[in-house]
Amino acid sequence: MTSIILLSVFGIANLFIGFLKSKRILLPLALLFLVVVFGVNLIGWNNTQTYFNNMLTIDNYAVAFTGIMTLSTLLILPFSQHYLQEDDQNLAEFYSLLLFALVGAIMMVSYENMLMLFVGIEILSIAMYILAGSDKRSLRSNEAALKYFLMGAFFTGILLFGIVLIYGATGTFNVTEIGTTQAMNDGVMNTMFVLGLLLVVIGISFKISAAPFHFWTPDVYEGTPTLFTSFMSTVVKTAGVAAFYKLMVAAFAASYATWFPTLIAITVLTLVVGNIGAVVQRSAKRMLAYSSISHAGYLLMSLIAFNERSDSSILFYSFAYSIATVAAFGVMKLVSDQRGDETFEGFAGLGKTNPLLAFAMTVSMCSLAGIPLTAGFFGKFFVFAAVVEASGLMWLVVVAVLMAAVGIYYYFKVVVAMYMHPAGNYEKVQVNSFTTFMLMLISALTILLGIAPALVSDLI
Amino acid sequence: MMTALLLFWPALAGILVLLIKGKGAKTVAFVAALVEFAFALFAVSGFDTLSAHAQFALNLPWIESAGIRFSIGMDGISLLMVLLTTFLIPLIVLSSFKHEYRSPNVFYALILFMQTGLIGVFVALDAFLFYFFWEVALIPVYFIAAIWGGANRVPVTFKFFVYTIFGSLFMLAAFVYLYFQTPGSHSSDVNTFYQLPLDAATQSWIFWFLFVAFAIKMPVFPFHTWQPDTYTESPPQASMLLAGIMLKMGIYGVIRWLLPVVPLGVSQWDELVLILAIIGIVYGSVIAIRQHDLKRLIAYSSFAHVGLIAAGIFTLNEQGLQGGVIQMLSHGINVVGLFFIIDIIFSRTQTREINNLGGITQTTPALSIFFMILMLGSIALPLTNGFVGEFLLLSGVFQYNNWFGGIAGLTIILGAVYMLRMFQGVMFGTKTANTDNFTDLTLNEKAVLIPLVIMVFWIGLFPNTFLSISEPAVGNLLNIINR
């Protein structure tokens, strides 16, 4: 709770600090705010509290996810010095909007009442709509914002409609009470409830860009300024999946049989569309957009497994995925800006000209592909483990294995370009030492979690 | 502790090598590899050859909550594999001294990193640890092949990489499934896996999940399509690493993680595997006869030889398994030697085409003798190492089925055909423009070949030195399989 209040206050404070002449203080200050929030958040560990007449519950689940989302934001922000011009009039607003978005994300992992879930999604989404269009003079950025906003508003409507139908069927917004009602009726439910459940599933599937509700993803990711894309594909996705899982466990555990067929179809479709879609991309950024769809599929796999391994595997997977994605977008932005080439060929010869950047990119590609020694391997491992334990789903693991092999193909296209293609006319990419340090830090973290995964996986 | 030292020393040395700029890197790498070999010899000296159990074992918690442990140790089979790896790596490093690779520190560091992965595969006693090192061994050799390889290296090595990872992901899925079948709070320990009471239908599909991974690595027909191109396009050192040691990972995987884990699955499919392996033997040999490129020829011959090893192992009798183990050593030694000789020839003539070579014997007595010994070892002439392995393997296959034995026996005849044809074309006849100024071996080249040739005779004359090491472990595995 404290972290939500603090972040809101910090966000507003940031807006006022924006009036100062020098904008240099904004980034260090935002980082400081996030460190404070990260620390304050930890106070809630093993100390479950509810707030506002059971609207919010801060339990270990919420604290763990808040922690990794705050950490991801902390790792994303330093890259802003490459994305945002220092003379930009709206610099303070960007930082504030990111902090506000994080508030929404935290509410999405700690809600107890479906209205809070809705409010959290809205707080997050509205900030993201603005940030998607923050590159005001770029046509693609404008297009992305409009697309994201129209589609987002539409699906938020669907979500809200679903919530209302469930309220009609059960008479409550409280997820635990919905769960209890369900359990008492022994899973028997009326049409209104089933329809509501389906609409809620569709609404959240859109937010985590699961197929077939993914059509906005490639265009929006491509058009949005890369800093905010990496926030979108990490924090937003983590919050979405965490909220999804919490909702299913608390409210709809008894109606597992009802939503299981729908969700398994969505999962398989997401895995296939994401991975096959990524193969045919020529732009590295679009490839990462499709890859983010595919990772939504892996995350949904552990949701579907629906057992005691699900929450920790979602936590670990989303963290491993988030840090690797942050590094990947970071390097990609540097390379594509300075070389003016967004395709894989833009990475040609990077291993020669910038060994450290190439190393960071290789580690994150290996992690996304799930190669051992990186966090991504254990991410996939825990997800597969959760699904295997849920009996009768071995075929889903086979599908996922096939798709993971496809994934290795397109992730390694980047690695091949970096190390095996000659640099040609491309020169060394200019990068300051702080960014290099951050990239090395992320790589070290990725490898550390690839050797000692228990650091995160044993949290919840 | 000994095992841990063997496992981590190359990685630490690799990090050190990475920091050395310039020419010092290769020397340091060589010394580090020699030290590693000394460790291995020390381990042999302290090894109890009568025991079937893992020795020098170390068992530490790794992912505590999941019951996954960092469990390593060596029984006789592992020890022989470790011995082979630690023996070959210094020679592979030494064999590269004639080349000036760019970024030598990275090149040699990658070789040492790969050694850690290889040793890890051979000593891991936990399924996930095994999988972990299995992939760790792949990544360095992929980069060695893809960065320092020939003109067409990028697509070829990429295919190799995706292909093998694809297979191993199935292995991972099978391990995860097996892991959840273990009682209590689950464990991925090898002995727990051996005791799993699985029904025949389950074992049947797990067999394929595991077999695909190992068959791609070996490779067994029809999973071999990555192999000839990859061997041809890789730099000589990567070819040696791949053929000499890495394909043993596949065979070792079958012995340790397939046969004893799903014996009922094996009994359902062993005949099919033998047929595939024997097709591979004949097919590989026939294609080898038709090759003009020396490296491709050796690649196909290696494919044929591995087919025989696979066939012998799946007979599930002692001769077959013991023959497989000893033949892994022999094949590793011979193929590294042959690849090195091809490298010597190529670096002097700039060609690997048999048609462009000839008459080399006239000026090179030393090279001719070494080449001939290694070639005869590969043909399995008595007194050489190849004979012991192939004899045991074939007698194993004959015990299984006379027809299979008869067809698999063709390997000796066909092997003699392509090897002698190659030797004749390259070494005898008249000199060509390419071989006009061919000089004999340098000291460095002799230093690589002499140890190899000594081993050819040692295994050929006194195979018991090695067979006795693996015998208790093989007996123990057979007991588990036939339980």
CB atoms within 10 A of CB A277: 21
| Banded pLDDT at A419 (limits 50, 70, 90) | confident
Q: Does A409 touch chain B (CB under 8 A)?
A: yes
Identify the pLDDT of residue A181: 83
Chain A residues with CB inside 8 Å of B139's CB?
366, 371, 373
Quote the tokens at residue A443.
Answer: 């790589």
Instruction: Please state, in angstroms and rounded to a whole number, the distance separating the CA atoms of residues B244 and B455.
Output: 14
Region at B221 (left for phi over 0; alpha for psi -120 to 50; beta for the rest):
beta
For A373, which of B136, B166, B176 is closest by C-beta distance?
B136
Q: State which residue of chain B sits closest to A420, comparing Cα positions.
A: B147
**Angle, in degrees to the nearest 10, between helices B443-461 and B365-379:** 30
Quote the tokens at residue B292.
Answer: 């003009």
Chain B residues with CB inside 8 Å of A408's CB?
161-162, 165-166
Give me the DSSP letters along A150-182: HHHHHHHHHHHHHHHHHHHHHS--BHHHHHHHH
Identify the pLDDT of residue B360: 84
Residues A291-322: pLDDT tens digits?
A: 999 999 999 999 998 888 888 899 999 999 99
Query: What's B72's DSSP letter?
Result: E
For A404, which of B64, B131, B169 is closest by C-beta distance?
B169
Q: Does B22 touch chain A (CB under 8 A)?
A: no
Contact B65 A454 (CB under 8 A): yes
Greatest Cα-to-Cα distance within chain B, rounded to the nearest angstrom:
72
Burial of B151 (0-12, 13-18, 19+ CB in 10 A): exposed
Interval A415-444 mean pLDDT = 87
Contact A405 B139 (CB under 8 A): no
| Banded pLDDT at A25 (limits 50, 70, 90) | confident
Contact A385 B66 (CB under 8 A): yes
Residue at B341: amino acid letter: I
Quote the tokens at residue A230.
Answer: 């990496």
Instruction: Please state, in angstroms and rounded to a whole number, the distance separating the CA atoms of residues A255 and B372.
Output: 74
Residue at B237: amino acid letter: Q
Pairing of strands B55-63, B68-74: antiparallel
Q: State which residue of chain A sits closest to B180, comparing Cα positions.
A: A389
pLDDT at A157 over 80: yes
Identify the pLDDT of residue A82: 64
The residue of A307, A316, A409, A420 whose CB has the most chain B CBs within 10 angstroms, and thus the best one to mutate to test that interface, is A420
3-state secondary structure of B73: strand
Contact A420 B153 (CB under 8 A): yes
Identify the pLDDT of residue A372: 84
Contact B161 A408 (CB under 8 A): yes
Residues B393-447: pLDDT tens digits?
A: 999 999 888 898 888 888 888 989 999 999 988 888 888 877 777 888 888 888 8
Pairing of strands A49-51, A56-58: antiparallel
Contacts for A287-290 with beta carbons within 8 Å, 24 or more apart?
A287/A344, A287/A410, A287/A413, A287/A414, A288/A221, A288/A229, A288/A233, A288/A325, A288/A328, A288/A329, A288/A332, A289/A217, A289/A218, A289/A221, A289/A222, A289/A229, A289/A233, A290/A217, A290/A218
> How many residues are recorded in chain A?
460
| Banded pLDDT at A85 (limits 50, 70, 90) | low
Q: Does B132 touch chain A (CB under 8 A)?
A: yes
B372 min Cα distance to partner chain A (Å): 37
Instruction: Please state, in angstroms and rounded to a whole number, the distance separating the CA atoms of residues A378 and A450.
Output: 6
Quote the tokens at residue B63.
Answer: 């992912």
Chain A residues with CB inside 8 Å of B107's CB?
none
Instruction: Please state, in angstroms and rounded to a whole number, the distance separating the CA atoms of residues B235 and B456.
Output: 24
Identify the pLDDT of residue A8: 92
B180 min Cα distance to partner chain A (Å): 6
Residues 6+ apart with CB under 8 A from A22: none
Chain B residues with CB inside 8 Å of A404's CB?
169
Residues B4-38: pLDDT tens digits?
A: 888 899 999 999 988 888 778 888 999 999 999 99
Query: What's B55's DSSP letter?
Result: E
Residues 6+ apart with CB under 8 A from A27: A77, A78, A80, A81, A95
Chain B residues with CB inside 8 Å of A366's CB?
139
Q: Is-contact B219 B247, C-beta < 8 A?
A: yes
For A384, which of B161, B162, B176 is closest by C-beta distance?
B176
Q: Does B63 touch chain A (CB under 8 A)?
A: yes
The residue of B165, B178, B203 whose CB has the most chain A CBs within 10 angstroms, and thus the best one to mutate to test that interface, is B165
Interval B334-350 mean pLDDT = 90
Q: State which residue of chain B sits closest to A453, comparing Cα positions.
A: B63
Residues B219-252: pLDDT tens digits?
A: 888 888 888 888 888 888 888 999 989 999 999 9
A408 min Cα distance to partner chain B (Å): 7
- B317 φ, ψ to 5°? -120, 170
Q: Is-contact B333 B385, C-beta < 8 A?
A: yes
For B173, which of A384, A409, A412 is closest by C-beta distance?
A384
Contact A408 B179 (CB under 8 A): no
Interval A13-30 mean pLDDT = 83
| Banded pLDDT at A98 (limits 50, 70, 90) | very high
Contact A371 B143 (CB under 8 A): no
pLDDT at A391 over 80: no
B340 min Cα distance to partner chain A (Å): 25
Quote the tokens at residue B200.
Answer: 């025949």
Q: State which residue of chain A sits closest to B131, comparing Cα positions.
A: A372
The C-alpha R_g of chain A, in whole angstroms, comes to 21
Q: Does A352 touch chain B (CB under 8 A)?
A: no
Quote the tokens at residue A101.
Answer: 């978005």
Residues A110-129: pLDDT tens digits?
A: 999 999 999 999 999 999 99
Chain A residues with CB inside 8 Å of B132's CB?
372-373, 377
Q: ∠ CA B476-B479-B481 to the nearest 5 degrees?
A: 110
Residues A209-248: pLDDT tens digits?
A: 998 898 899 999 988 988 899 999 999 999 999 999 999 9
Nearest residue to A245 via CA among A187, A151, A154, A309: A309
Chain A residues with CB inside 8 Å of B128's CB?
381
| Banded pLDDT at A87 (limits 50, 70, 90) | low
Sign of CA dihedral B178, B179, B183, B187: positive
The residue of B103, B136, B172, B177 whose CB has the most chain A CBs within 10 angstroms, and thus the best one to mutate to test that interface, is B172
Give bridge partners of residue A343 from the DSSP assignment.
A283
Instruction: Please state, in angstroms and rounded to a whole number, the distance separating the CA atoms of residues A79 and A82.
Output: 6
Chain A residues with CB inside 8 Å of B64's CB?
454, 458
Residues B298-334: pLDDT tens digits?
A: 999 999 999 999 999 999 888 889 999 999 999 999 9
B167 min Cα distance to partner chain A (Å): 9
CB atoms within 10 A of CB B60: 10
For B65, which of A388, A408, A458 is closest by C-beta distance?
A458
Q: Does B18 touch chain A (CB under 8 A)?
A: no
Identify the pLDDT of residue A296: 94
| Banded pLDDT at B119 (limits 50, 70, 90) | very high
Quote the tokens at residue B162.
Answer: 């995706």
Chain B residues with CB inside 8 Å of A398's CB?
173
Mean pLDDT of all residues belonging to chain B:
88
Quote the tokens at residue A317.
Answer: 């997977």
Q: State which residue of chain A sits closest to B202, comparing Cα positions.
A: A394
Nearest residue to B466 via CA among B331, B326, B330, B317: B326
Instruction: Please state, in angstroms and rounded to a whole number, the distance separating the CA atoms of residues A308 and A45.
Output: 19
| Banded pLDDT at B207 (limits 50, 70, 90) | very high
Q: Where are the alpha helices (DSSP H) in A43-113?
A: 60-76, 80-83, 91-110
Q: Does B136 touch chain A (CB under 8 A)?
A: yes
Q: Does A385 touch chain B (CB under 8 A)?
A: yes
Identify the pLDDT of residue A274: 92
The C-alpha R_g of chain B, in whole angstroms, comes to 21
Q: Does A458 touch chain B (CB under 8 A)?
A: yes
Q: Which residues numbered 407-466 in B keep a CB inside 8 Å of some CB on A? A: none
Contact B169 A401 (CB under 8 A): yes
Indicate the helix (H) or strand (E) that contains A26: helix A26-42
Q: Does A408 touch chain B (CB under 8 A)?
A: yes
3-state secondary structure of B353: strand
